[in-house]
A = this chain, B = another copy of it.
């Protein structure tokens, strides 16, 4: 089973009560508390050797990224993050040399978005692992399953920089890698402010953490729609390949669909919060498929993991 089949398999063990608006296949668990109040709940772990490599990741960045991975899930629901618990697995007795930067990175990011670390657990472990559980709140959750035909698709950041960093680091020392790529990988920004701002404007939102194509496919599948994206419109920064922009991971960007009638308000809101967004395509009727439109206007169906001839995926 791949990760998605696996999540589907585990679904049967999740509680399905009426208050539970979403318990899987969304970025957060969503539980209805009252008419205008929803409880958000998410957890994300970083495991040494799987999600990070201490040869080029400092502990401050690790704490920062752990916060962002979780904050980004809350952002995708249009939520405000609240309370965090940390589980800290460490092979040796904790040591101020790494614990202080780690905690500072974590707590600084949380505080920036008015979230607070309020407890946790420290355990011995053969390797480092860090788990955060984060709660949040929203008046009305944004879901990935509510895109409508005709919606315009946006992304909130240039894509692929994190994947490009992982390509560069294979044969370049850290100090020779462009600062923009380092920041994207080591100190990403969660879209909390944007998520809240589009709460009443977007029809559907998903956090891009596994690459544009895969996450757009998930949104289409959940909403029973298809999508056309324009090759030229995809925001690809310097140093980044098309493949990395389409299928790289760890962008922590929002991908969202907005109905035509809300566009004016959307642009106004984005101006107010000083946030650039990028229009990349449109939601269409049809089975969950993604079509790429090239410069000549020709459409090509594209699988969730990218062009067929893009076989090598960035990896450690």
A interface residues with partner B (beta carbon < 8 Å): 1, 3, 6-7, 9-10, 13-15, 17, 20, 23-24, 28-29, 31, 39, 41-45, 47-51, 83, 85-87, 89, 93-94, 96, 99, 103-104, 106-107, 116-127, 129, 131, 133, 135
A86, B89: Cα distance in complex, Å: 16
A125 CB to nearest B CB, Å: 5
A42, B133: Cα distance in complex, Å: 10
Taking A129-B89, A129-B129 as contacts, is the C-beta distance between A118 and B29 under 8 angstroms? yes
A-B CB contact pairs (8 Å), 7 listed: A9-B94, A20-B118, A24-B119, A29-B83, A39-B83, A47-B89, A126-B127
A83, B48: Cα distance in complex, Å: 28
Contact partners of A43 in chain B: CB under 8 A: 85-87, 119-121, 131, 133
In the complex, the count of this chain's copies comes to 2
B127 touches A127 (CB 8 A): yes
B119 touches A41 (CB 8 A): yes
Contact partners of A15 in chain B: CB under 8 A: 116-118
A193, B266: Cα distance in complex, Å: 51
Contact partners of A131 in chain B: CB under 8 A: 43, 45, 87, 121, 131
A125 touches B31 (CB 8 A): no
Contact partners of A127 in chain B: CB under 8 A: 125-127
Which of A13, A87, A119, A120 counts the most B-chain CB atoms under 10 A from its CB? Answer: A119
Contact partners of A122 in chain B: CB under 8 A: 3, 6-7, 10
Contact partners of A14 in chain B: CB under 8 A: 117-119
B13 touches A133 (CB 8 A): no
With both beta carbons as reference points, the residue of chain B lying nearest to A125 in the complex is identified as B47
